[in-house]
Amino acid sequence: MKKILSLLVLLLFCSLMSSAQDKAKRIQEIRKAYAEAKKDIAENGKNNNSRMDVRINFNDGAEVDEDFIINDESELNFYFKRMRLTTETDLFDPHCYFVVEKWSANGHSRYREILYDLITGHLMFSYLKSESHAGFVTESRYYYDDVGNLIEEKHKAGGEDSGSGSPYSSGGDQTLAMKYMVIFDALMQQKGVEAENDVALQTNDQASRIKQIRSAYADAKQKIAKDAKSAIPRNMQVVIHDQEDPDLPPQTDEQNFWYERVNDEGENGLYFMSSKCNLGDHSVYSEYLFDPKTSQLMFCFSQQAQNDGPALEWRYYFDAKGQCIEAKGQADRNGPGFADKHAAAFYLELFNGFANPVE
């Protein structure tokens, strides 16, 4: 019996030793991947390397009273590489390997780093640093195995080790890491929306509807100008630097969103959005006007400018049900307004993900 117990203890000890060695090896791999990611980020856009990153800024000002204003500012930076994983395709797919999150409001700040496996997309490591308005700092580090399971966590409070206790759980980082990857994938796949036939309708109140839209457009432009000078800005910006293929020129996409409060529950309504894409030999600029209370697309404008040719423009006016009632432009784009409605729906979903998150 004693021999059996001794054997069981020995087997348990060997298992624990093997597990400890596996964890140490994994943490070493993570630290190496982290160092390589930091090096790649430092070289992003330098030494003839094309920039490949995405930046999202979200500003949400709030006036508590006439003497107290809170500016809630968030910034997300995604870093990625274009990779062709198989010889059967000519596509170089974007793979995100690192995300940096920065947040500040009323003297409080939060800084977070998320490291992904470049091939699988699994979470490898996350780091979180929070600071209160009084200057108290907490730090947390989480290490994950090759399928995203937590294997180690370390925490500091006020510069001292605090064991395994932390006000932030690793589950929160895992949820965020998944959410940010979904956002990244959606952004990078929203290109080349296919158009379908959509007949422009003729309605009895077409003239009054177009007049209403033009008035709303003018109001939106005034609100945007006011927002630029406001102490409580409410806007969001997305900037994408990319090169889809080594044989293609680098490109830059910039998307700007403006919104307002629509009810006492703090819900935000998007009222205007613009998108600009520079593609080397030409550029595309679009505007989208929304009803902030219903989120219905009211109007869109698009312009394609060639470096060696005239610019082409399109305008689409929509009724309260989202049907195109007027289409103007120099060329037909396979159905008036459908592609723009498709793009507008994507942008609206992206905006709501930041401005009206579901708890």
pLDDT band at 196 (very low <50, low <70, confident <90, very high): very low
Please tell me the predicted confidence (pLDDT) of residue 282: 81
Residues shown for the chain: 359
Kindly report, residue by residue over 163-173, the tens digit of the pLDDT.
Answer: 655 545 556 78
Q: How high does pLDDT run on average in the chain?
A: 84
Residue ranges per domain, the chain? 36-189, 206-355
pLDDT of residue 195: 43
d(CA 198, CA 69): 46
What is the Cα–Cα distance from 140 to 127, expressed in whole angstroms? 6
- Span 50-67, pLDDT tens digits: 899 999 999 997 765 565
* Contact status, residue 193 vs residue 342, Cβ threshold 8 Å: yes
Which secondary-structure segment (H or E) carries 257?
strand 251-261
Q: Flag whether pLDDT at 41 surpasses 60.
A: yes
Q: What is d(CA 330, CA 322) in angstroms, rounded to the nearest whole number?
A: 23
In this prediction the pTM is 0.85
> What is the DSSP secondary structure assignment for residue 178, as one 8-state letter?
H
Instruction: Say what the pLDDT of residue 203 is.
Output: 64
Residue 112 has pLDDT above 50, yes or no: yes
pLDDT tens per residue across span 302-318: 998 877 777 888 899 99
3-state SS of 111-141 is EEEEEECCCCCCEEEEEEEEECCCCCEEEEE
CA atoms within 13 A on the CB side of 297: 28
Q: How high is the pLDDT of residue 65?
A: 58
Which tokens belong to 171?
């589950």
Torsion over CA: 23, 29, 31, 34 (sign): negative
Q: pLDDT at position 9, please?
A: 52
Question: Average of pLDDT values for 273-301?
Answer: 91
What is the tens place of the pLDDT at every residue in 314-359? 899 999 888 888 888 755 555 567 778 888 999 999 999 889 887 5
Residue 193 is predicted with a pLDDT of 44
d(Cα 36, Cα 153) in Å, to the nearest integer? Answer: 21
Hey, what long-range contacts does 279-283 have (CB within 8 A, 24 or more apart)?
279/249, 279/251, 280/248, 280/249, 280/250, 280/251, 281/249, 281/306, 281/307, 281/308, 282/306, 282/307
Share of the chain above pLDDT 70, in %: 82
